[in-house]
Every structure is written in C-alpha cells, then in structure tokens.
Amino acid sequence: MNQNRLWAKKSVTMLALGAALLAISGNSSAEQVAGGVPTGSAVTAVKAARMLDVKSGQWIEHAVVLVKDGKITAVGKNIAIPNGAQMIDLGSRSLLPGLIDMHTHLTGDPEFQGYMAVSLSIPRVTLTGAKNARRTLEAGFTTVRDVGAEGYSDIGLRDAINAGDVPGPRMMASGPALGITGGHCDDTMHAPEYKITSTGVADGVDAVMKKTREVIKYGASVIKICATGGVLSFGDDPKASQYSFEELKAIITEAHRLGRRVAAHAHGGDGIKLAVLAGVDSIEHGSYIDDEGIRLMKEHGTWLVPTLYLGDWLVQNAEAIKLPAPLLEKAKVVLPDARKHIAVAIKQGVKLAFGTDAGVYPHGLNAREFAVYVKLGMTPLQAIQSATRNAADLLGWGNQVGTLEAGQFADMIAVDGDPLKDITELERVKWVMKEGVVAKGVQ
C-alpha cells in the first residue's frame, strides 16, 4: 500500500497530541479496555486447557503461565502457582503467543485510497491510527511492523502507545517510505503546477543515503523502500524496478550500519532480485517472484512477507471505497497472479513471515490472511509460526516476542477451538494480553 502519496506533510508536533485526544474522547486507555489487569509487582497466573508450543507444534495440556512485571517467569503443565497470585482462568480455551503482523499501515483506512487522501491532515490520520491500533490489538496482534506513513504519523502513534496514552500493539515503525520521483512511494495524483513530492522521495546515491539518515533521525526503527511500482499508485508498473542497484545498496548499507533493518516493497521479479542482491532483509508482496528470485532469496536468507487476503477484500469492496478505476484494473491483474507465484515460493521453502497490508482493508481483519496461506500450501502450524517465531526473528526480537517462554513479554491470546485443525479460529480471538495487561477480556 502506498501511504507516502496519501497525505500532505504537517507538523510532527501534533502527532502525540492527536493520539492522546482519541484516548480521552474514546475512553480507551489500557486499564479501560475490557477491565485491563496490570500485573505490577504481583504475580499473575494464566490458566488454560492447553497452550501451543509454536516451536515444536505440540499442545501443552493443563497449561499455566506465570507473569510478573509484564514478562513470563514460568510456563508449563500444572506448575505451582504462588500464594496470593492473581488468577486468570481461561477454562477450556487454547492459549497461543500474541500474533505479529509484519506489514501494516495503522494510520490508513481503505477509504483513504485515491483522491480522498488529499483531504486528510496528519493530525487526522494519527487519530485514525489510534483507532486502528486498538482494533488490531483486540484482534490478537500484540506486535506489528508498520511500513509507510507520511508525516511520521506512525512514529507519533508508536510513541503514544509506548507512553501508555492509547492502547495498541508494540510497534516497529518506518515513517515515510523511501522512493524515486514519480514512483510508487511518491505523490502522483496532483497536476504539475502543485509541485507536490512525498517526504520519502530521494534520487541518486548521495540523496538516498541522506534520506535514510533523515528518517532515522526522526524516529524510524525500520526502513521501508519501494523497489518496484505498485498496485495502488497512478502511472507506474508493478513489474518494473524503480531504484537502481547502487541506490538500493546505499540505502541498505547505511540502514544496517545504523542498526535498522530494511523492508522492500517489491512486486516484480527484477526489483526483487536487485533488492535481495543489495542485502535487503525482507521482500514485501513478492507478487511476481520467479524461480531465480526464489533461489536468490533462499541463498541470501531473505524473508518474504506476502500480503494476500487483500486480493479478496479490495476487489469485492472497490466500489464502496470509491477505488479509482486505474487502480482497480491493476488490482484485478496483479493480486490473483500473486497467489500463484507465492504458492510456488511456499512449496520451495522460502522463509516466510506473516503480513497483511491492513489499511488497504479494515484493521482488525488481519487474521483472515492465515486461511489464504493454508490454501496455498502451508500447514496450519506453519501459518501460525509465520506470525509468531518467524516474524519475531525478522524483527530481531526473537528473545522478546513470538513464543510463550520464560523471559519473553507476556503477550498471549486465547481462542475457543484448535487452530491446528481450523486455522480460522484465529479470526475469533476471545482474549488478549499484551505485556502482562489484559487488553481484551473473555468474550
């Protein structure tokens, strides 16, 4: 999704204020969501009929998880519960690690596609982000990587969540995505006389290196680049590469030197290959990945983050959201093709992490992505691993999130049934805890 062309640049100082206003007006602080339960210095014991070990794929029956100061201190079958511990008994439900979405746009909504975007200020979309952060968390996604937002609105949202001003998932955020003049990550909707360029646009090796440093200066914890054209942008071709190899190499080398990983929007084969050879950490979408691209990704250990459910929702709802005709025509071609190519990548064993492009479709529906992965050849366990241990590895947070083990953040969800038998159980999350605080009570 091209968030960089959506909104004109506004004052960054408005962002945290905007998010906080929603918390006040929406009455949605962490303590107020479904009777949130902070553990503080006390111990909380979470009991469930079973708990999934996402590493082994085995269920642990009669599971108990002990939580203190937001982290898991012990986990296992029928382990001893300290006297005075606060009890959360989930009864017959199944317990899993909090889910991770590696490709979101929290400050975007489906209606923001096309020309409506020009009417939206940065403070307004930041408030939208606060709404969507809550919906995402209550859907069971306790961590997200947000990849592309104009005006650093995602950075302000991340900081507001971290400060406890609004409820939401733990965020890794990119700020504005980097792209070429006139490319997928530029504003291509305005006539020439307006002279509007998106914040992340930079051309040439020196300029892209400076832009990488600039977005890091203003808070980016991951770098997003546009290596090819896109679907939801005017005048470009999703199959065509955009940045040159030299530009990609400069961005990725500088980002890695400064401790940031890099995600590349890339639909077309050549753009995928150039980004992989330049050292990118993940390919987003990968719609036209071919055998050579698959070989290179496996050789370099590059992650693939497909975003596939949007192919159903976007086409079905194009008229309702007033999607411009040129964008719809591209979507009708690219999105079905993507499933064919991603199915081959899955079969050939490319490393895959879960992503949705939520914002193209409504936030909170993120878990509908799982069923598409299973339909394309993944087992339910592999699909769950893509949104837990795999995603955590791609984030570089494998020692903090993605599994239910001592020392990890106490991020957990509960569902009624067995998602190893019916992956759509993850679309009906009944209970959510993030960092030891209940974000959604038993439904």
Q: Which residues carry out catalysis? A: 224, 357
How many CB atoms neighbour CB 406 within 10 A?
12
Q: How far apart (Å, rounded) are the C-alpha atoms in residues 173 and 19?
A: 16
Tell me how far apart the alpha carbons of residues 88 and 108 are, in angstroms, rounded to a whole number.
Answer: 35
Sheet holding 303-305, edge to edge: 223-226, 262-266, 282-285, 303-305
Taking the C-alpha atoms of residue 26 and residue 28, their distance in angstroms, rounded to an integer, is: 5
Q: How far apart are CA 170 and CA 162, in angstroms?
A: 7
What is Dmax (Cα atoms) for the chain?
A: 71
Q: What does DSSP say about strands 141-146 and 86-89: parallel, antiparallel, or unpaired?
A: unpaired
Pick from 341, 430, 407, 373: nearest CA to 101: 373
d(CA 45, CA 89): 8
The number of CA neighbours under 13 Å toward the Cβ of 432 is 26
In contact, 363 and 136? CB cutoff 8 Å: yes
Which value, to the nearest 10 degrees, does the dihedral of the CA atoms of residues 290, 294, 299, 301 take?
A: 130
Handedness of CA 331, 134, 53, 425 (dihedral sign): negative
Q: Which of 217, 212, 189, 192 is nearest to 201 (CA)?
A: 212
Burial class (CB in 10 A: 0-12, 13-18, 19+), 316: exposed
